[in-house]
Structure 1
């Protein structure tokens, strides 16, 4: 059986197929002695002796290379079966081929011949050229170019920093790709780095979230691999400001986690220091300049004017956004903005808070001349949603206790789902582990839920719910908290005069038709059209399940209403999504409770079965009947 290191050597040789690699280079790459490499090579050769497709060639002073035993014609022949190791690939899939070619081009700083690249994915020359066009498009997203030299082949030109961004964002990191069928992750090595990194950050009292810690760990593992392959950052880092503390931490990380001479990796240390600056979780208000504090306060005043929601007395929100703002500005400045895999879910679940965060993005641009991407806006959305919850919770409501074994950091989905369902009814939610139940005054709570198994002693007093509450859970919780309420307040927002059915050629046409219907019924401000399109141009208002909900950038009308556009045929709403149903939504100005209509609408969109019914409806009565029947179970 091959060891993880031997598999790692094979992967390196495959990425450099047909090219000799010295034992010294493999030794540096695997961080072991050349004698160990020679032993590993012998073991690999023994495994390949009975393989009639690949062979390992060694040559004095040149090193080792992996090559085909003969010219492979069919993709099915490309199987390197070394016991548990399976190199079979689906070369009929363009995505698989492109990943292989990208990894080959980015793996080391050498030219790759056209024939070698074609042979590696077993396609025709015309298919290869089609794949290259896609690869060039991907590389351009990272400011990288693909050059071609007739005598040498293909070579990627660009900064090493951008090559690493491409490797990470395109999920091309061999040793960290858990879904890869080729190699297992070197968990032992990563575990060692993780422990050392934790100790170093702890020693410096450097606070960082779990997500950002994992991102940092991935980057360090990649940096180690790239440096071993002589792909280092050189004269690409420009620093504006004092980062002495971060430089000290970065230097300590490289010295304790790796074994590279500092003169070789000074720019690596400098770049890591910048990343640390952008990933840090600040909890000391002294880090925040008066300029930022004043900017956040002024932004809250403008949000109050445009959205009718007053955050001026919410000190917690002001502090948390100010603390988040320092590393955010740094990330934007140095092109290190975070990705957010929950972006679609956040947009769909908290649309009003997302619009506030979008408006805040505009204010940031006007003040600091930097543009925050949509992923970062989604993180800000969670803060603004926290503020909105506090606005709602000012009214009298119920106190809820939840008994769960979930860690505090894992309760956000459960807590947010409950608050989304019962925003107007709950003033407090406490979540405790079962072991603390005996120390808790349960009589002080109006309702008690549990995600754990209900025992005989708990039966009746504790309402069971799942960790990820379903519609059935909602029904139980709704009865426990309030009983049922009328749906008339929501249904009054729909009007047969505000309904369009028919064919349109594109998004702009249907939006214009819906705006025209709204203007026939309401006296709308002159800026209404402009604010609809301003919001649309900022980011897509596609909500999922073939439903879009265009709306103004911020509340501007005197009435809250919904204009329904049911399309005879689907149209593209953005580059990736088609829609069949369009709901143009307007919430009234100076009424902070008006935004609660979004909770009902986002709930409708998140129910795929219901969305299918809505998009297959053929009349206004069909639409309203479906919504009314669903709201009876929701409100």
Structure 2
């Protein structure tokens, strides 16, 4: 196939959408007849691989595949044989991002299109996405007449972009240094790694494996940029005072060894950058702090705020206090020097420990208020690990629930009910006693977690209660099993309301969805007035998109008297700050919690992880059906 024919296939694959032949002819600067001839030639090849390009009476071209396996073989052999030329739009965008970040020359749009085997218009659309990606770093792709396109931006931001965008894409496995040939050859990468290891061991500096990898990345990028004569201006030298730090001497030794071996000269400012990394990632193993220490006081406030807001029951966990204090000591240096560390576990932490992540978001707000700095998602993720460990420790010492029985039919029924429960659940519950309704009072209910009653109880009874039959049959046994196991289908009832569920809504942005759901609960007098602003503030701290087309936004602080969910499905997926979302679950948490949110989060995460249930939510137009799917029927 010629280049144009490859381009035609790349236009049709992988979206398999309809494309007008006139559109292709215009893009490639040829006649429509030439396009028809190209399609005929392509089909001669595709017939052996179970595929065909068909043309309807509207002159639309569509790629039809009857044998996916054979067609995949064709794509791998003919289209993907040169891995430098990606097919998928996402891959093309990151290819262009890498090309601009690592190149010092101008690029013409036509040349980029030929290089990618796509039309000029496709390359132009890809370039729009490249500009969006780079905008986060205040980097622009500018055009100079008669020259072409080139990158324009602050050198430090360009280095940050290389680190965050390209290393995130191409991996961080330092066992095989050759995987980073796109930046530096394997031999040089290995030497940087080994030089770091030697000096860190010599000076007994202990850092995590992730921090070590990040430092290798930083030095490798600095080396590449210096070789390309791209130096950070001295005006950026706000860390020059680090010369008095012990870590500055270590940084000098590390870079001196690399300079000698790789024939490069690192400016003094680069020594300060490496010093900053060492200060910001050095591991401590002992707590040298007290309640009078400002940092110790900050940690206490962090834990108290998160514990009260989310009812975590970890306020007295001394290990949590020590862990967060040890984390914050080097982190303060990262905050001070605006050093962003990368957290490769971030998505897994958000997906598997959502409650701990929310505790960490609360912690970040306390830190920001005290230190007047902004903490990014990666740092929040690391703090979440400490809250997650505390939650797991608390589970290990959880006492069985205290169950009180209210029986109106007499002593015989009460004793039978108590006997059956003891035989079934044994030590899994702490069965207090059986009492009559008229004997219920504050003293009796003081330590009760749940009431099993054979009669309906009035609203004046605030302790959770469940109605059971006098004979306490199998269904009643299942109810108690739900209580003991904290089964999420049991706890979901109190959080769901069909009047707060909406299907197939036509919104295009997260702001529009949040605005609608906020308006609904506001009009029902369920939340404080600034609910929308609070939810958007929470999104600005860290996106609540979990993947799997689900987002779970919520206010940065509790704004309601009760905990409840407001749910909307969308007609089509929308971009939710970097992830595609079609199911939105707005979570409002009560200002004063009397129970753990863990069962609720556990249930919601099980929903997110269940692709079939999510798809069922998206497909139904019935709020009753949606209610049942969310509940877990």
The TM-score range, normalised by the shorter chain, is 0.5 to 0.7
1:372 aligns with 2:371: no
1:90 aligns with 2:89: no
Q: Measured at CA, do residues 122 and 143 of structure 1 come closer, stay the same or move farther in structure 2, by a change above 3 Å?
A: same
Q: Measured at CA, do residues 360 and 624 of structure 1 come closer, stay the same or move farther in structure 2, by a change above 3 Å?
A: same
Match of 2:281 in 1: 279
Residue 574 of structure 2 contacts residue 582 of structure 2 at CA under 8 Å; is this kept in 1?
no
For residues 95-154 of structure 1, what are the alpha-carbon distances to aligned partners after superposition, in whole Å with 9 as ceiling and x for unaligned? 666656655555465667889878766777777666655555544433445566557666
1:601 aligns with 2:604: yes
Q: Measured at CA, do residues 287 and 148 of structure 1 come closer, stay the same or move farther in structure 2, by a change above 3 Å?
A: farther
Match of 2:225 in 1: 226
Q: Distance in 2 between matches of 1:132 and 1:542?
A: 26
The correspondence of residues 252-271 of structure 1 with structure 2, limited to 5 A, is 252-259=253-260, 265-271=267-273
Q: Measured at CA, do residues 321 and 184 of structure 1 come closer, stay the same or move farther in structure 2, by a change above 3 Å?
A: closer
Match of 1:246 in 2: 247
Q: Distance in 2 between matches of 1:275 and 1:150?
A: 41
**What SS class does the counterpart of residue 285 from structure 1 fall into?**
coil
Residue 487 of structure 2 contacts residue 599 of structure 2 at CA under 8 Å; is this kept in 1?
no
One of 144, 161, 164 as aligned partner of 1:166: 161
Residue 184 of structure 2 contacts residue 224 of structure 2 at CA under 8 Å; is this kept in 1?
no
Q: Distance in 1 between matches of 2:91 and 2:504?
A: 41
Q: TM-score, normalised by structure 2?
A: 0.61
Match of 1:65 in 2: none
Q: Measured at CA, do residues 497 and 105 of structure 1 come closer, stay the same or move farther in structure 2, by a change above 3 Å?
A: closer
Name whichever of 483-492 and 216-225 sits farther off: 483-492
Residue 302 of structure 2 contacts residue 366 of structure 2 at CA under 8 Å; is this kept in 1?
yes
Match of 1:610 in 2: 613
Residue 328 of structure 1 contacts residue 337 of structure 1 at CA under 8 Å; is this kept in 2?
no
**What SS class does the counterpart of residue 371 from structure 1 fall into?**
coil
Residue 160 of structure 1 contacts residue 233 of structure 1 at CA under 8 Å; is this kept in 2?
yes
Q: Distance in 2 between matches of 1:156 and 1:510?
A: 35
The correspondence of residues 196-345 of structure 1 with structure 2, limited to 5 A, is 196-235=195-234, 236-239=236-239, 242=242, 244-259=245-260, 265-286=267-288, 290-309=293-312, 311-345=314-348
For residues 305-326 of structure 1, what are the alpha-carbon distances to aligned partners after superposition, in whole Å with 9 as ceiling and x for unaligned? 4334454422221222122223
Q: Distance in 2 between matches of 1:148 and 1:509?
A: 34
Q: Measured at CA, do residues 510 and 359 of structure 1 come closer, stay the same or move farther in structure 2, by a change above 3 Å?
A: same
For residues 281-317 of structure 1, what are the alpha-carbon distances to aligned partners after superposition, in whole Å with 9 as ceiling and x for unaligned? 2334348992222222223333344334454422221
Q: Measured at CA, do residues 134 and 257 of structure 1 come closer, stay the same or move farther in structure 2, by a change above 3 Å?
A: same
Name whichever of 268-277 and 508-517 sits farther off: 508-517
**What SS class does the counterpart of residue 576 from structure 2 fall into?**
coil
Q: Measured at CA, do residues 125 and 523 of structure 1 come closer, stay the same or move farther in structure 2, by a change above 3 Å?
A: closer
Residue 496 of structure 1 contacts residue 620 of structure 1 at CA under 8 Å; is this kept in 2?
yes
Q: Measured at CA, do residues 620 and 214 of structure 1 come closer, stay the same or move farther in structure 2, by a change above 3 Å?
A: same
Q: Measured at CA, do residues 239 and 581 of structure 1 come closer, stay the same or move farther in structure 2, by a change above 3 Å?
A: closer
Cα distance, 1:501 vs structure 2: 4.3
Match of 2:357 in 1: 354
Q: Measured at CA, do residues 191 and 361 of structure 1 come closer, stay the same or move farther in structure 2, by a change above 3 Å?
A: same
Structure 2: where are the runs of 5+ without partners?
1-80, 401-426, 429-480
Residue 164 of structure 1 contacts residue 222 of structure 1 at CA under 8 Å; is this kept in 2?
yes
Q: Measured at CA, do residues 122 and 198 of structure 1 come closer, stay the same or move farther in structure 2, by a change above 3 Å?
A: same
Q: Distance in 1 between matches of 2:572 and 2:146?
A: 50
For residues 200-242 of structure 1, what are the alpha-carbon distances to aligned partners after superposition, in whole Å with 9 as ceiling and x for unaligned? 1122221211111112222223333333444444413311754
Q: Distance in 2 between matches of 1:164 and 1:228?
A: 14
